[in-house]
A and B are shown apart, each in its own frame.
Chain A
Amino acid sequence: AQSVAQPEDQVNVAEGNPLTVKCTYSVSGNPYLFWYVQYPNRGLQFLLKYITGDNLVKGSYGFEAEFNKSQTSFHLKKPSALVSDSALYFCAVRSTSGTYKYIFGTGTRLKVLA
């Protein structure tokens, strides 16, 4: 069965420090991986995706993610966190053996402290 795990419910980081939000996945077939961010009372906003090619993917707002096939991970990173990055982050996976579904993780709440 396909699945996505976000092992941390919440991540706290000081403003200006690097941040990492973790995601691991399990699929059959080739994985296609996505990160979304959700601000309070808003829908999900697309940040970046990995389809193929370079394992380091750059996205919106200075975020990037690294695809690691051997560790089946797709961690979201940013070199220097901003207070405005505080939000709920979702990892999602689709695969060539799947249907229309994104399989979403349960989300990680990021708090950036001033």
Chain B
Amino acid sequence: ETGVTQTPRHLVMGMTNKKSLKCEQHLGHNAMYWYKQSAKKPLELMFVYSLEERVENNSVPSRFSPECPNSSHLFLHLHTLQPEDSALYLCASSQSTGVTDTQYFGPGTRLTVL
């Protein structure tokens, strides 16, 4: 798991807080992803970045704001979240967004919104 790291691993926040999740990949990849994993539901793709450009926003509410300052780092800025946003947030990277490319995942940030 040293290939893709995520911080913090756990986060508890109130509905009025602002926080950020950080992801860093050490694999030399050009594409990065944010996923949401909720219990009993398939993984939901949230955002895709390719060469630091956002190429997909999967109808995610504006209270989630991604940022990709370079190909190694990806952030997810959070503000005025709702309790139903509590989930495991996973970051992934791949060499490119090519359909055969394998995505490599970080350990996730467990988010609890009170």
Contacts and interface: CB of A to CB of B under 8 A. Distances in A.
Interface stretch (B11-19, B72-80, B94-102): B94-102
Given A34-B102, A43-B106, A102-B45, 16 more contacts: A41-B107, A41-B108, A42-B1, A43-B6, A43-B90, A43-B107, A44-B90, A90-B43, A95-B99, A98-B99, A100-B45, A100-B48, A102-B43, A106-B40, A106-B41, A107-B42
Contacts of A41: 9, 107-108, 110
Contacts of A32: 99-100
Contacts of B9: 41
A40 B86 CA distance: 17
Contacts of A46: 102-105
Candidate in B31, B42, B105 with the most chain A CB atoms within 10 angstroms:
B42
Interface residues of B, number: 28
Interface of A: 4, 32, 34, 36, 41-46, 49, 51, 90, 94-96, 98-107
Interface of B: 1, 4, 6, 9, 31, 33, 40-43, 45, 48, 55-56, 58, 90, 92, 97, 99-100, 102-108, 110
